[in-house]
Amino acid sequence: MINLKNRAFNILTLTLVSTVIFVILLILQYFKVISEYTGLLLTLAGIYVIVSLSLNLITGFTGQLSLGHAGFMCVGAYTTAIAIIKYGMPIPIALILGGIMTALFGLAIGIPTLRLRGDYLAITTLGFGEIIRVIIVNLDSLTGGAAGLKGIPTFSNTGDFIIDAIIRFSWVYIIMILVIAVIHNLINSSQGRAIISIREDDIASTSMGVNVAYYKVYAFTLSAFIAGVGGGLYAIFFGYLNPAMFGWLNSVNFVVIVVLGGMGSITGTIIAAVVFTYLQEWLRVFADFRLVIFGLALIILMIFWPKGLMGNKELSITGFIRQLRSGEFSPRQIKTKWNEFRQKKGRKKDGRAD
């Protein structure tokens, strides 16, 4: 009963906080406090968050290194685009279809690679991504081949750029919140604990009765589904697709986001995806040197934060609210904690650390 109350409280809090942030961002965009360019970057960052969270489910929580997420994204993008252009499907149905098609590919890849781990799995998934790209290039009649697929309808075409940008952002933001909620609830469930146990030690998990094969395939398939939905949003966002948009470097970028944010941290992935999106754009002014600067920045971050920005920790809004209600942040409690910190620091300085 207590767990049900806690889960209901968490869902209600996430809904309220995400709604407030959503409304604030919409107002700022409508009144041009946030520029049109910044609004586009926010939307693109939301897509990166969705795809990066799907990769974190495999790499961060399950402990399986994958370098083929651009391939999953490619399948979802082309499936969604073809469903809209050639069959006139509504966007929501096309996105779900793109996710399902990608999930089938994830299942097809997940089953034969169950025994692989580490570098071997990474090379296999990398090969999968390149195979998908080559197939897309050679299916001229369906995908447009190397020339790409043009004329993909956008989320809205009212003629008002501000309204269209707001509608585009709304689509991505709402789906991003749903993805965050799904992964958060999964990780905090019994299935999530089984998935995390595989990351820690799959042999010990097997000995404790965890069906390792099932949960690996489950995580791989769900991750592929989410990446496919993200790919569909990517296609509709740009209105154009080209196989070169899904090269192996894109897969590496998503791995960088997951590692930078913290493997196994939803909050860290969100922060890293937003920072990564803006950093890429800001560094464009340096032309060819931007990759060098970006690489140096990553090296420095990994030296000082080897576990990423958040490690495997989360920023919990519900936990913060509970702490406020319990009086943990009252002036007396803050003063007590500060005195304890000073005493601990003094003991270390005198060589009397515990």
- Going by C-alpha positions, the residue among 241, 278, 279, 257 that lies closest to residue 39 is 278
Rounded Cα gap, residues 150 and 55, in angstroms: 28
Predicted structure pTM score? 0.86
212 sits in which H/E element: helix 212-238
The 10s digit of each residue's pLDDT in 6-37 is 666 666 777 787 888 888 988 988 888 888 88
Q: What is the mean pLDDT of the chain?
A: 83
Q: Which two tokens stand for residue 125?
A: 């998934």
- Going by C-alpha positions, the residue among 192, 264, 178, 295 that lies closest to residue 226 is 178
Q: 35-315 has which CATH code?
A: 1.10.3470
HSE, side-chain direction, 13 A CA sphere, residue 83: 22
Over residues 213-223, the mean pLDDT reads 91
Question: Can you give the residue ranges of every domain in the chain?
Answer: 1-34, 35-315, 319-354
Over residues 117-132, the mean pLDDT reads 84
195 sits in which H/E element: helix 190-200
CA distances 124 to 67, 68, 113, 118, 127, Å, are 8, 8, 8, 10, 5
> What amino acid is encoded at 299 in this protein?
I
Is the distance from CB of 84 to CB of 91 less than 8 angstroms? yes
